[in-house]
Chains A and B, each alone.
Chain A
Amino acid sequence: MQLIRPDININFIGKRKLAMAISALMIIISLGMLAIKGLNFGIDFTGGTLVEVKFDKPAKIADIRSAISPKGYGNAVIQEFGSPEEILIRVQNREGEKSSTISTAILDSLNAKFTADAVEMRRVEFVGPQVGDELTHAGIMAVLISMLAILIYVTFRFEFRFALGADAALLHDITIVLGLFAITGKEFTLPVIAALLTVIGYSLNDTIVVFDRIRENFAANRKRKNPEDEGLIANNAINQTLGRTLMTSFTTLLVVFSLFLFGGEVIHDFAFALIAGIGVGTYSSIFIASPIMLSLAGYFKGNADETREMEARP
């Protein structure tokens, strides 16, 4: 079976203005939403307490609130988590609240109201204010360092403009995934950062495959008597790898969807980030990375020796 015909020839590069416009629009919306609505940061970054409990029968949120109100947690965020029996309670850190004591108070008051047998502790998370700051810092550093490492690796293996194209595609993907989190209001947690880094790795993987083919075709082109236009060569490379690009995205999406549907509530947002990222990553490796690389032609042109050396690499 072959869904992508071998002689397929879509003019991707020719549609780059349209693609750029679409991407620009998505990025503007994302940045706008990030600025206006912002991300719904989880306690990993804001600090705070999270208590997940399971009741023996569906629980009313009002009852839970009235149980914990006397302790001063009436303003807690209380929501269902996957099923009516499972409840998530979130409380912000208070000034001077440095140790993990809120969860104990909440569980005690729930046990007192509903009897200890009716309430089951599923999960308690507490992140102190200082730890929250550290995790935020580590998260930002992780994204920046991996982008830098990739810039270096791609420059080493290809050319600087390829590396810029790849990093532009990555920034594009991250911005749009972040924008989606702002729009949907999904909770932004530590695992989501992990998902973002995976998206970086994945999107790059896609881009590299296309670049690899472009490099190969460029080399062949230069040996010709009448070299053709770079854009045309790049477009052929995208078409040649199109089958693979779509196939891999498809198989990866298959498993990530399985994770999204069956992996449980805890992993849900993580899987969502992956789905969004793989989708956008596939698009950007076709429509963003190569056009940007092409538009940078001539800016960072090496001498003939460098080109020869580059072509000698495997």
Chain B
Amino acid sequence: MHSFPRWKIWLILTVLVVSLMGSLPNIMSTPSWWPSALSHPMSLGLDLKGGVHLVLDVDVNKAVTHSVEEDVDTARQVLRKEKIRYRKLASEGNTLKITIKEASDLAAAETLLKDTFSNYNLSPAAADNTFVLTLKDSVADETRKFAVDQAIEVIRGRIDALGTTEPVIVKQGDHRILVQIPGYEDSARAKQLIGRTAELQFKLVDEKGDLEKAMAGSIPPGDIIMYGPAKRGANGQLNRQPYLLKKHTELSGSEIADARVSIDSRFNEYAVTLKFNSKGSHRFDKLTAAHVGERFAIILEGVVNSAPVIRERISGGSAQITGSFTPAEAHDLAIILRAGALPAPVQVVEERSIGPSLGQDSIDQGMKSIIIGTLFVLVFMGIYYRMFGMVANVALIFNMLLIIGAMSMIGSTLTLPGMAGIVLTIGMAVDANVLIFERIREELNLGKTPLAAIDGGYDKAFSTIIDANITTLIAAIVLFQFGSGPVKGFAVTLSVGILASMFTAITVTRAIIAVSTEKRARIEKLSI
């Protein structure tokens, strides 16, 4: 046989060394001369490692409504400052409605609103002196986007407090967040920790207002009724204590510098002590100084937690949240208050959490089926194609090494369906060799010499192998595009496997056969 190009042999040897070195970190550490960028063990997917996998949907429209609601406060302040009297201030979705009392103030109000609310489109006053301000679409989009980014930061803070290694928190699509906490089992606690908005507000109680009248329907302007937690009364009924509060939020969770678990000395209960930052302390100091003898309400996630009386001016800047917490509850509340409030509510729309024992079982069963499947194929190929079968077997083992090495080096994740993909690749990898060997047999039957038959077999099978593999690759690529999570893992191993098998089944087997035949002058018979 004419000599096989040396560069191809060198290429094969290089690929062999690289895939060996790439696979090595899965068993032991690599020597120092090997670049560390290419030296990491194959990372396991959550379905093999166990852990919590959540997809969260951020209610981004709530973030928009929320920001518009806050602007009602701004409108109130600027109108008061300019002494323009108003009849009604309200927000609705992404619009603000402002009704001015006197028609004579309309011109001044229009200029003022235009200057203050550059983020809104202002429509001219209607007959009843009402201005409608609509949030600009670009601003609303920006708010939505920002809400997701901010939610990611807040959630990262909360999850980091769990002390797990390498959690994944990434944006998925426009308004979804993917959270993966490998090796973490307590999915209920993770959901609890992530899902709470932790919105904290401090409002003053309207001591002059009449709660009973307000409950009957006549709420004083600028006031709001909020409730305490549901408690079982003496008659067994669930009661919620109502409070008449000033609408205006004096302080919020964003002014908190720290939150720690503490013991409430009065009842000897677990509580969470909040420390304000400097801006918060300053405001708290002013607030308490101005309202001694009144009550201020601490509102957590829309529920009045407590409403203590301000006995004296408080300059230290700290407050306490109580509520018969268990130590774990107090601890988790401290975590979420420290990490800050979510800008918008989130919902878990998808969960796939795996316990550690199932992950290990899947690894064991996956490995078992890979080993048994490989052994079946190796034995069968050896029997059916004898020496040539053994050559194909060498290529098959090379192929698996290449898949493991490549997947380790490019840092792709191995999932359970991914393992199935490897198993399937084993079956299909020998296909190229089957095609070639069957063709060689045909050529021999046509009466060609052994060497000519080998050449003919490889040449004629080549285009078939390319066509057949490319079509499978098309299916794998589509799978990657449309699949999610574990299915993507299957697509990756299948694609890597197909590419690797084309190299090993064509080039490697050819090289082995060429090198082993080139020294021999004549070959009478092929062991095929």
A residues less than 8 Å from B431 (CB atoms): 205, 244, 248, 251-252
Contact with B along A83-114 (1 / 0, CB 8 A): 00000000000000011110110011000000
Interface of chain B residues 431 through 476 with chain A (CB within 8 A): 431, 434-435, 438, 441-442, 445, 460, 462-464, 467-476
**Contacts A209-B435, A258-B369 given: A128-B349 contact, CB under 8 Å?**
yes
Name the contact of A262 in the complex, choosing from B347, B372, B467 (C-beta under 8 A): B372
* B13 lies within 8 A of chain A by Cβ: no
Tell me which of A153, A202, A267 contacts B417 (CB under 8 A).
A267
- Contact check, B373 vs A149: say whether CB atoms are below 8 A apart: no
Residues of A within 8 Å of B484, CB to CB, are 135, 138, 190
Task: Report the minimum CB–CB distance from A256 to chain B (whole Å).
Answer: 7
Q: Is the CB of A104 within 8 A of B188?
A: yes
List the A side residues contacting B514 at CB < 8 Å: none
| Given A131-B55, A212-B467, A248-B434, A266 and B478 contact (CB-CB distance below 8 Å) | no
Q: Is A247 an interface residue (CB 8 A)?
A: yes
C-alpha spacing A194/B490, complex, angstroms: 8
The contact of A251 among B47, B380, B386, B474, by CB within 8 Å, is: B380
Cβ of A185 under 8 Å from chain B = no
Asked if B323 is an interface residue, CB under 8 A from chain A, the answer is no
Q: Is the CB of A201 closer than 8 A to any CB of chain B?
A: yes
Q: Which DSSP category, helix, strand, loop or mixed, fits chain B's interface?
A: helix
> In the bound complex, what is the Cα–Cα distance between A248 and B424 (angstroms)?
11
Interface size on A, residues (CB 8 A): 79
Instruction: List B contacts of A267 (CB < 8 A).
Output: 362, 365-366, 416-417, 420
Q: Which of B108-116, B225-233, B352-360 contacts A (4 or more CB under 8 A)?
A: B352-360
Indicate if B479 sits at the interface (CB-CB under 8 A): yes
A30 to B350, CA, bound (A): 32
Judge whether A150 is part of the interface by a CB distance below 8 angstroms: yes
Report which of B187, B350, B369 forms a contact with A103, defined as CB distance below 8 A: B187
- Given the known interface contacts A248-B431, A266-B362, A314-B463, the answer about A99 and B348 at a Cβ–Cβ threshold of 8 Å is yes
Least CB separation from A211: chain B residue:
B467
Query: With A208-B464, A253-B427 given, is the CB distance from A153 to B365 under 8 Å?
Result: no
Q: Cβ of A139: which chain B residues have Cβ within 8 Å of it?
A: 482
Residue contact A124 to B353, C-beta cutoff 8 Å: yes
When chains A and B are docked, how far (Å) is the Cα of A124 from the Cα of B189? Answer: 13
- Given A6-B441, A191-B486, verify A251-B471 contact (CB < 8 Å): no
Given contacts A104-B191, A204-B475, A262-B372, contact A251 B377 (CB under 8 A): yes
**A187 vs chain B, min Cβ distance (A):** 15
Instruction: Pick from A127, A201, A247: contact of B384, CB below 8 A.
Output: A247
Residues on A with beta carbons closer than 8 Å to the beta carbon of B430: 248, 251
B428, A248: Cβ atoms closer than 8 Å: yes
Q: With the chains together, A39 CA to B187 CA distance in Å?
A: 30
Chain A 213-247, CB-CB to B under 8 Å as 1, else 0, gives: 10010000000000000000000000011011001
Interface string of A108-131 (1 = CB under 8 A from B): 100000000000111111111011
Determine the chain A residues whose CB is within 8 A of the CB of B366 once the complex forms. Answer: 263-264, 267
Chain B residue with the shortest CB-CB distance to A100: B348
A9→B259 CA distance, assembly (Å): 83
Q: Does B487 contact A (CB under 8 A)?
A: yes
A130 CA to B372 CA, complexed, in Å: 41
Partner of A247 from the list B348, B376, B434 (CB cut-off 8 Å) is B434
Chain B residues near A172 (CB, 8 Å)? Answer: none
Compute how far the CA of A99 lies from the CA of B427 in the bound complex, rounded to whole angstroms.
42
Chain A residue nearest to B460 in the complex (CB) = A216
- Closest-by-CB residue of A relative to B346 is A99
Q: How far is the CA of A104 from the CA of B190 in the complex (A)?
A: 11
Question: Can you offer 7 A-B residue contacts whose CB atoms are under 8 A?
Answer: A99-B349, A124-B352, A251-B381, A256-B423, A259-B420, A266-B358, A270-B420
